[in-house]
């Protein structure tokens, strides 16, 4: 991009992709800015649509709608009216004309002319001569450019010198905002969300760089907040934002890296690929962003990884749809959402047997609470084994293997090694850090557990990673405050209401705890049980409601209840015999929740010979 210029009262700064007037600052996508720059260079002239398409998107697959949306965005920014234009006039059946006066602030403005390919890529621009620029000065500039190229200076260094850009500030943390879906088709939202997650995954592989997790950034999908505000809330140095446009088997992704403290654009680029190559595209994009970050680590510290394999279009679509349905489970969707997710993941693996992430997604759908049921255990193991064979460096695969070793095999030493391997492969995985923290809680290593949970919270600040640890260690007062906040922020998640209910029960606030249970049942797709429980509570009080709740849990074992969950309800009712009956049933079925026997909620059973014997048989450390 080039030097700043003024259109009427608006200051246009192409190098920052910004347009400002008084106290209003608008940020444009890089290609929208290129449209504006070209119109400004030819102010007063009618520019055919075909010419603008050729100049701004040379040799690139885009539809006419992209240009139309770009013009609409410019009109929105300038508060212009297409019927009575003060800035951009539509010339019917011909093109567009910038009718407002253009005043250079200093030097020249840039062009998106195809000749810019002299620098090696169509997206890199060169300064064009203006009438007031002496010919000798232009020649000298070209000679200087050739000298720089000859001595082997990098393309980005050349670009930085041409722009007069200062050195890139040190960046230790960043967040990738949800990529905007430009297709105009709401059914393609899953694709844009999937691409966002893949980019986060790729950037998370950069050592010593803290990358905010997907769950924290999705709340900003349609947020009307400035980038500095978002960065402040997430406590990051930089933001990556961009767009996704999919048309048939082609996809275009634009992205820019913004340094948050001064809202300055450090880097921007656009990519066009066939859809099956999007995973390779994400790796390429992450690599380019990394080049702009001074804190990137030496190659020897990067996890070794082969180039991402090409993924079949049908497999990718099935995988992204599987993610969509998986995330709906527990938020009001029926248990069928989990089965739909499993079916889509299965389709993805059938189309592409080497699609490691699809195998991991399939394995996760077999987890009913913390471990697969006996019937689904062989399918879980097969899916996870195929995921690790397809990509041994996939952190999530090792995370789920660690969970299986802990909650199903009760092989605690192996579980610890796999958790550490998952963290080694992706130190930015909030999932892996929280999972390891939960494991350390179960092992009685509470100070270490708290450190891991704090790390997870730092990586995913908009979601809770502390509540379970506080609950496990019996810090119920602190846990209650967090549980209430989590329910207020994310009331749609049944798991959050279940956690709040459990905290209330441990504090002896049985009525409040029982009142949360119908919400839990409703969010997990059991509205009839929820209604019956609410009526029983209203008519006969919390004890009758808890007895009914225990029967309901027994009826839906594995979907997602388990014997230990039933035992916990009887423990609340003070019925130790029923408690041990269901704990013993859990041992026979290898119920994963028995791993938590040494946590604070079971403290009232300490000293009972039946409890000590069960802890010994599970193999928990003394």
> Whose structure tokens read 């007031």?
132
Task: Locate 431 and state its tokens.
Answer: 């999932």
Backbone phi and psi for residue 238, each to the nearest 5 degrees, phi listed first: -140, 160
Candidates 1.10.645.10, 2.60.40.420, 2.30.30.40, 1.10.10.10; CATH matching 5-133: 1.10.10.10
- With beta carbons less than 8 A apart as the criterion, state whether 27 and 66 touch: no
pLDDT digits (tens, 9 = 90+) for 414-428: 999 999 999 999 888
Greater pLDDT, 249 or 351: 351
What span, in angstroms and rounded, lies between the C-alpha atoms of 40 and 27? 17
pLDDT digits (tens, 9 = 90+) for 551-587: 999 888 766 788 999 999 999 999 999 999 999 999 9
3 state DSSP class of 307: coil
3-state per-residue secondary structure call for 67-124: HHHHHHHHHHHHCCCCCCCCCEEEECCCEEEECCCEEECCCCCECCCHHHHHHCCCCC
Domain boundaries defined on the chain? 5-133, 173-301
173-301 under CATH 1.20.1250.20, yes or no:
no
Burial class (CB in 10 A: 0-12, 13-18, 19+), 162: buried
Q: What is the helix (H) or strand (E) element at residue 250, kind and residue range? A: strand 250-259
3 state DSSP class of 265: strand
Question: Looking at residue 6, what is its pLDDT?
Answer: 82
pLDDT digits (tens, 9 = 90+) for 259-317: 888 777 777 777 777 766 666 666 666 666 666 554 433 343 444 444 555 567 788 88
Task: Locate 247 and state its tokens.
Answer: 């048309």
What span, in angstroms and rounded, lies between the C-alpha atoms of 246 and 182? 8
Burial class (CB in 10 A: 0-12, 13-18, 19+), 88: buried
Percent of the chain with pLDDT over 90: 38
What span, in angstroms and rounded, lies between the C-alpha atoms of 595 and 599? 9
Q: Examine the pLDDT at 166 and tell me if it is beyond 90.
A: no
Q: Examine the pLDDT at 2 and tell me if it is beyond 70.
A: no
> Whose structure tokens read 């060169």?
126
pLDDT digits (tens, 9 = 90+) for 491-512: 888 889 999 999 999 999 999 9
Q: Which residues contact 231 (CB under 8 A, 6 or more apart)?
A: 175, 237, 238, 239, 260, 261
Cβ–Cβ contacts within 10 Å for residue 442, how many? 22
Cα first-last separation, the chain: 65
- Least confident range from 124-133, 196-205, 424-433, 607-616: namely 124-133
Average pLDDT, the chain: 80
Q: pTM of the prediction?
A: 0.62
pLDDT digits (tens, 9 = 90+) for 364-409: 999 877 888 888 899 999 999 999 999 999 999 999 999 999 999 9
Rounded to the nearest angstrom, the gap between the alpha carbon of residue 331 and the centroid of all alpha carbons in its chain is 18
Task: Locate 397 and state its tokens.
Answer: 């695969």
- With beta carbons less than 8 A apart as the criterion, state whether 181 and 244 touch: yes
DSSP 3-state helix, strand, coil percentages of the chain (rounded to 5)? 55, 10, 30
Own/partner pairs for 559-562, CB < 8 Å, 24+ apart? Answer: 559/335, 559/368, 560/335, 560/368, 560/369, 560/524, 561/369, 562/368, 562/369, 562/586, 562/589, 562/591, 562/592, 562/593
3-state per-residue secondary structure call for 411-437: CHHHHHHHHHHHHHHCCCCHHHHHHHH
Q: Examine the pLDDT at 520 and tell me if it is beyond 50.
A: yes
What span, in angstroms and rounded, lies between the C-alpha atoms of 459 and 428? 7
The stretch 39-50 carries a mean pLDDT of 87
Q: pLDDT class for 117, splitting at 50, 70, 90?
A: very low
pLDDT digits (tens, 9 = 90+) for 342-365: 999 999 999 999 999 999 999 999
Greater pLDDT, 8 or 52: 52
């Amino acid at each position: 991009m080039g030097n700043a210029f003024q259109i009427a009262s608006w200051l246009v700064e192409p190098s920052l992709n910004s347009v400002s007037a008084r106290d209003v600052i608008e940020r444009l996508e890089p290609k929208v800015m290129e449209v504006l720059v070209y119109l400004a260079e030819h102010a007063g002239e009618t520019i055919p649509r075909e010419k603008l398409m050729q100049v701004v998107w040379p040799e690139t697959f885009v539809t006419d709608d992209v240009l139309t949306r770009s013009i609409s965005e410019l009109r929105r920014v300038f508060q212009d009216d297409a019927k009575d234009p003060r800035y951009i006039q539509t010339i019917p059946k011909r093109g567009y004309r910038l009718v407002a006066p253009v005043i250079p602030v200093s030097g020249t403005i840039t062009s998106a002319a195809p000749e810019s390919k002299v620098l090696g890529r169509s997206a890199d621009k060169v300064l064009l001569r203006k009438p007031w620029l002496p010919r000798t000065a232009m020649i000298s500039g070209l000679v200087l450019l050739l000298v720089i190229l000859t001595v082997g200076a990098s393309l980005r260094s050349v670009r930085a010198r041409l722009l007069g850009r200062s050195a890139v500030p040190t960046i230790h943390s960043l967040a990738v905002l949800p990529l905007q879906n430009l297709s105009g088709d709401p059914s393609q939202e899953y694709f844009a969300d999937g691409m966002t997650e893949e980019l986060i995954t790729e950037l998370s592989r950069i050592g010593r760089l803290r990358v905010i997790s997907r769950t924290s950034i999705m709340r900003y999908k349609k947020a009307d907040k400035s980038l500095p505000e978002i960065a402040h809330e997430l406590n990051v140095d930089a933001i990556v934002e961009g767009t996704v446009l999919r048309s048939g088997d082609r996809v275009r992704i634009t992205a820019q890296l913004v340094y948050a403290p001064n809202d300055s654009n450090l880097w921007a680029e656009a990519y066009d690929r066939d859809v099956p190559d999007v995973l390779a595209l994400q790796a390429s994009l992450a690599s380019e962003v990394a080049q702009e970050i001074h804190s990137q680590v030496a190659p020897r510290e990067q996890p070794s990884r082969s180039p991402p394999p090409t993924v079949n279009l049908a497999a990718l679509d099935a995988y992204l749809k599987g993610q969509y349905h998986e995330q709906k489970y527990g938020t009001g969707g029926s248990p069928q959402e989990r089965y739909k997710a499993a079916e889509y993941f299965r389709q993805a693996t059938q189309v592409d047997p080497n699609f490691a992430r699809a195998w991991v997604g399939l394995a996760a759908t077999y987890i009913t609470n913390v471990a697969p049921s006996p019937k689904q255990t062989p399918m879980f193991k097969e899916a996870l084994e195929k995921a690790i064979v397809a990509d041994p460096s996939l952190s999530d695969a090792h995370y789920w293997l660690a969970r299986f070793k802990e909650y199903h095999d009760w092989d605690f030493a192996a579980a610890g090694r796999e958790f550490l391997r998952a963290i080694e492969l992706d130190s930015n995985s909030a999932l892996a850090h929280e999972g390891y923290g939960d494991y350390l809680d179960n092992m009685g290593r509470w100070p270490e557990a708290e450190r891991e949970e704090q790390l997870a919270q730092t990586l995913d600040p908009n979601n809770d990673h502390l509540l379970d640890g506080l609950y496990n260690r019996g810090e119920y007062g602190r846990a209650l405050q967090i549980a209430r906040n989590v329910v207020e922020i994310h009331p749609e998640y049944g798991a959050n209401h279940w956690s709040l209910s459990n905290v209330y029960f441990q504090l002896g606030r049985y009525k409040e705890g029982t009142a949360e249970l119908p919400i839990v049942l409703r969010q997990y797709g059991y509205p009839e049980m929820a209604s019956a429980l609410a009526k029983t509570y209203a008519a006969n009080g919390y004890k009758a409601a808890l007895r009914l709740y225990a029967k309901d849990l027994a009826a839906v074992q594995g979907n997602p209840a388990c014997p230990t969950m039933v035992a916990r309800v009887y423990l609340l009712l003070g019925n130790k015999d029923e408690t041990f009956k269901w704990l013993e049933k859990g041992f026979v079925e290898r119920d994963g929740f028995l791993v938590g026997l040494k946590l604070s909620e079971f403290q009232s059973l300490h000293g009972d010979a039946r409890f000590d014997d069960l802890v010994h048989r599970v193999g928990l450390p003394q």
